Amino acid sequence: MATNSESRFDLKQPRNIAMLLSIVPGLGQLYNRRFFKGILIFIIAASFLVTTWNYIDIGIWGLFTLGTVPREHHSIQLLIQGLISIIVLLFGISFYIYNLLDARSDAKAREVGRPKPTFLKAAGDFYDKGFPYFMVIPGLIMLLFIVVVPLAFMIGLAFTDYNQYNAPPRNLLNWVGFDNFVSLVNVDIWKDTFLSVFTWTVVWTVVATTLQIVLGLFLALLVNDKRIKFKRTIRTVLILPWAVPAFVSILIFSALFNPTFGAINRDILSQFNLMIPWLTDPFWAKIALIMIQTWLGFPFVFALFTGVLQSVPSDMYEAADVDGGSRWQKFRFITLPHVLFATAPLLIMQYAQNFNNFNIIYLFNEGNPAVRGQNAGGTDILISWVYKLTFETNNYNMAAAITIIMGIIISAFAFFQFRKTASFKEEGRY
Amino acid sequence: MAMKAKTKSKIEVTFIYLFFLVMFIVIGYPLVWTIAMSLNPGSNMLVTQLIPENPTLEHYKWLFTDPNSDYVTWYKNSLGVAIANALGSVVLTSFVAYAFSRYKFVGRKYGLYMFLLLQMFPVLMGMVALYILLTTVGLSDSLIGLTIIYLGGQIPFNAWLVKGYFDTIPKELDEAAKIDGAGHLRIFWTIMLPLAKPILAVVALFNFMAPFMDFLLPRIVLTSPEKYTLALGLYNFINDQFSTNFTVFAAGAILIALPIALVFLILQRYLIGGLTAGATKG
């Protein structure tokens, strides 16, 4: 066993002795005669343990049990403490691994007889190697606490029984496995609501986004036409809806579509003796929402395409002219592939954004009108439904379960976007 | 034949201009209507006119002078959050992006995947936890808490954007500087940052405008009216009694939309350039 363990593990080698000794942080460094570093590592490790031990201990225990004594243990706080404990623990473990590897590499340097670096040199090396980490750490910590911990918390909630009637500190929460997901497909009210909200979300995402892309592309092509003058003015006006803050435009539209005083019914449709119940009929509310989103979203796509269109090499069109290609053929085989290829990641992101477009749904009509037999409004998409479940009816567990389903769908978007982005790296860029 | 082609082309161009005209009306109508509403006297929406007979600035005056109006406070709050957010985000993201663009380190590849994934997730998804976290550290109902959430939430998207831009700056530049004895921070400060000014301006602008436009996060974080940001305050104007306050809302909305739209239109070229560069070269 010990014969060919050279490559694996040989206790006679100083590098392995140092690493083994470093199981007590700092000891391996002392063995390497790097006294200052050894003591420093030991002090850091010891203070880390002393300050965080209690917190982590309770946190991990809380993560598993969610508390055992009602009113004394607050399950939600325990859950968050548990998640934070995991992060702190990960930091601790990476420091520990660093300590092991450091002892090993120092011992290696001693084996080949490299002189022990001076204190200044060592500090300089540390700074050199650590530099990218120092740059990343402030951002990473904020990201962890503001984005990752809350998302992990939501994932956790989806597997608990946290709702209006079972809430801490009065009650303890329990882990319930996949029960919430099961009721999403088994309990009638949840099943019906989920189905109708989900299908509308899909229709909404596909139709509204595609419309804004098509309109944006069409306008970009028109403005790009050689015969058109005043290009700058036209572009500026077409970009206006993007320049006005969206929440302002949406609230204005909400008033415009108001059945009693809104200008659309009062000033325009009344000419044709029409009154459309924009806010009270789910069908018309959906039509209005799609129209508004097209109005809000096309300028971005338009601006994007305008920029890309100018980069289509003109000799390709000239070659097509020589071959007698029609205008449609030129568009279909030169312009469209070029434009779509160059903007694919941003277009995918447009779909993802509309999938999560809480603002327009909520500001236009708060997801209303109400629909009989379900607990979401007629125009609610998944994210606005989650908002209502959380802040209006306190169905935290179901809201979290739906959030996870949304997360899976969004990850699919991200996956496609990554594939597109990665393809740029190989294909070179325009 | 040539004549015919010419007429055909002329008809085409006329139709294109006509289409633009229709678009102009569709775009302009809501905006003009809002301006008209803000100039209508009184607050009864049923008697408002598109071209008011007695145009008045009373609503604008009310916003700034009436003791019941918190408008100026909201403007100040939004401005403070916006400036802090713009500066903070440029510092944070350029640090992160520099490391990701120029250094090899453990977790670099997965970090990039993580950014790509996280930028898709709206902050709303973790709202309950954020609220509890803010309460635990005593930052609920505070503008500082709001700013911190903005700063953390913008990292994935902007780090990706800036990293993409940094990647287009030739590596030879910093290698040459390294040979001349420049340290990491010096290269970052004297070479990368000046060359990346366009994209940093985009990041600053985006994050400056976000607090003016966002309504959801303030609604969850802020509870006392004197801490409201503009978007939240204005929403509450019309949320309670819709038809009674709309003329005042219109005036307040115009005063936000105008400066933002102006800045936006002036800088739009950089915005679009930055977005396409960052996203397609990332």
Q: For residue range B84-135, what is the model confidence (pLDDT) as tens digits?
A: 999 999 999 999 999 999 898 888 888 888 888 888 787 778 888 888 888 8
Cα→Cα distances A238→A364, B80, B270, Å: 23, 31, 17
State which residue of chain A sits closest to B134, comparing Cα positions.
A146
Q: What's the confidence (pLDDT) of residue A7?
A: 52
Q: What's the confidence (pLDDT) of residue A203?
A: 96
CB A219 within 8 A of CB A241: no
Q: What's the confidence (pLDDT) of residue B15?
A: 93
Residue A427, pLDDT > 60, answer: no
* A428 part of contact set with chain B, CB < 8 Å: no
Residue A140 Cα, gap to closest chain B Cα (Å): 8
- Least confident range of A107-116, A157-166, A387-396, B203-212: A107-116
Domains defined for chain A, CATH in brackets: 14-157 (no CATH), 182-427 (1.10.3720.10)
**Bridge partner list, A175:** A160
State which residue of chain A sits closest to B210, comparing Cα positions.
A245
What proportion of chain B, given as a percentage, has pLDDT over 70? Answer: 92
What proportion of chain B, given as a percentage, has pLDDT over 90? Answer: 24
- Least confident range of A269-273, B34-38, B210-214: A269-273
Over range A307-329, report the average pLDDT.
84
In whole angstroms, what separates CA B245 from the centre of its chain?
26
- Least confident range of A242-246, A300-304, B148-152, B233-237: B233-237
Residue A2 Cα, gap to closest chain B Cα (Å): 32
| pLDDT-derived band at B233, boundaries 50, 70, 90 | confident
Mutate to test the interface with A, among B21, B108, B215 (most CBs of A within 10 A): B215
State which residue of chain A sits closest to B26, comparing Cα positions.
A295
Residue A421, pLDDT > 70, answer: no
Q: Which residues of B touch A391 (CB under 8 A)?
A: 220
- Least confident range of A210-214, A344-348, B103-107, B238-242: B238-242
Record: contact A142-B253, CB cut-off 8 A: no
Record: contact A77-B127, CB cut-off 8 A: no
Record: contact B33-A263, CB cut-off 8 A: yes
State which residue of chain A sits closest to B251, comparing Cα positions.
A248
Residue B59, pLDDT > 50, answer: yes
Q: Whole-angstrom Cα distance, residue A231 to residue B14?
A: 15
Q: What is the pLDDT of residues B247-262, one digit of tens each?
A: 888 898 998 888 888 8
Task: Identify the DSSP state of A368.
Answer: P
Which residues of chain A from 213 to 252 reach within 8 Å of chain B, CB to CB?
219, 222, 225, 227-228, 234, 236-249, 251-252
Cβ-nearest to A342 among B13, B103, B280: B280
**Bridge partner list, A163:** A166
Higher pLDDT, A205 or B62: A205
Highest average pLDDT, of A264-278, A410-424, B210-224, B264-278, comes from: B210-224
* A313 part of contact set with chain B, CB < 8 Å: no
Residue B33 Cα, gap to closest chain A Cα (Å): 8
Record: contact B124-A238, CB cut-off 8 A: no
Q: Whole-angstrom Cα distance, residue A178 to residue A215?
A: 43
- Token pair of A207 as six digits: 């139709």
Cβ-nearest to B120 among A135, A234, A414: A414
Residue A273, pLDDT > 70, answer: yes
Q: What is the pLDDT of residues A360-378, one digit of tens each?
A: 999 898 888 888 878 888 8
Average pLDDT, chain A: 87
For helices B197-213 and B71-102, the axis angle rounded to 10 degrees is 140
Q: What's the confidence (pLDDT) of residue A422?
A: 57
Q: Which of helix, strand or coil describes residue A370?
A: strand
CA atoms within 13 A on the CB side of B53: 3
Phi, psi for B38 (deg, rounded to 5): -70, -20
Residue B95 Cα, gap to closest chain A Cα (Å): 5
State which residue of chain A sits closest to B88, comparing Cα positions.
A139
Residue B273, pLDDT > 80, answer: no
Q: What's the confidence (pLDDT) of residue A222?
A: 93
- Which CATH class name applies to B64-281? mainly alpha
Q: What's the confidence (pLDDT) of residue A1?
A: 40
Q: What is the pLDDT of residues B163-198, one digit of tens each?
A: 888 888 888 888 888 888 888 888 999 888 998 888
Residue A5, pLDDT > 60, answer: no
Record: contact A139-B216, CB cut-off 8 A: no
Q: Whole-angstrom Cα distance, residue B132 to residue B125?
A: 14
Q: Which residues of A touch B12 (CB under 8 A)?
A: 227
| pLDDT-derived band at B242, boundaries 50, 70, 90 | very low
Q: Which of helix, strand or coil describes residue A160?
A: strand
Q: Of A253, A68, A238, give the one whose Cα is nearest residue A168.
A: A68
Residue B268, pLDDT > 80, answer: no
- Least confident range of A38-42, A269-273, A289-293: A269-273
pTM summary value:
0.84
Mutate to test the interface with A, among B13, B89, B91, B128 (most CBs of A within 10 A): B128
Over range B10-25, report the average pLDDT.
93
Q: Which of helix, strand or coil describes residue A166?
A: strand
**ipTM of this complex > 0.90?**
no
Phi-psi region of B181 (alpha: psi -120 to 50; beta: other; left: phi over 0): left
Record: contact A154-B128, CB cut-off 8 A: yes
Record: contact A241-B27, CB cut-off 8 A: yes
Over range A210-237, report the average pLDDT.
91
> Chains A, B: CB contacts under 8 A, how many?
250
Record: contact A225-B121, CB cut-off 8 A: no
Q: Which residues of A touch B8 (CB under 8 A)?
A: none
| pLDDT-derived band at B278, boundaries 50, 70, 90 | low
State which residue of chain A sits closest to B94, comparing Cα positions.
A135
Q: Which residues of B touch A76 (CB under 8 A)?
A: 132
Which residues of chain A from 26 to 85 reach within 8 Å of chain B, CB to CB?
76-77, 80
Highest average pLDDT, of A34-38, A55-59, B233-237, comes from: A55-59
Residue A1 Cα, gap to closest chain B Cα (Å): 33
Task: Identify the DSSP state of A21.
Answer: H
Q: What's the confidence (pLDDT) of residue B281?
A: 45
Record: contact B155-A153, CB cut-off 8 A: no
Q: Which residues of A touch B40 (CB under 8 A)?
A: none
Domain boundaries defined on chain B: 2-60, 64-281
State which residue of chain A sits closest to B37, comparing Cα positions.
A252
Q: Which residues of B touch A255 (CB under 8 A)?
A: 37, 45, 238, 242, 246
State which residue of chain A sits closest to B136, comparing Cα positions.
A77
Q: What's the confidence (pLDDT) of residue B82?
A: 94
Which are the contacts of A52, defined by CB distance < 8 A and separation ≥ 6? A88, A92
Q: What's the confidence (pLDDT) of residue A429?
A: 37
State which residue of chain B sits closest to A301, comparing Cα positions.
B272
Record: contact A153-B121, CB cut-off 8 A: no
Record: contact B256-A245, CB cut-off 8 A: yes
Over range A192-198, report the average pLDDT.
93
| pLDDT-derived band at A12, boundaries 50, 70, 90 | confident
CB A214 within 8 A of CB A301: no
Higher pLDDT, A301 or A276: A301
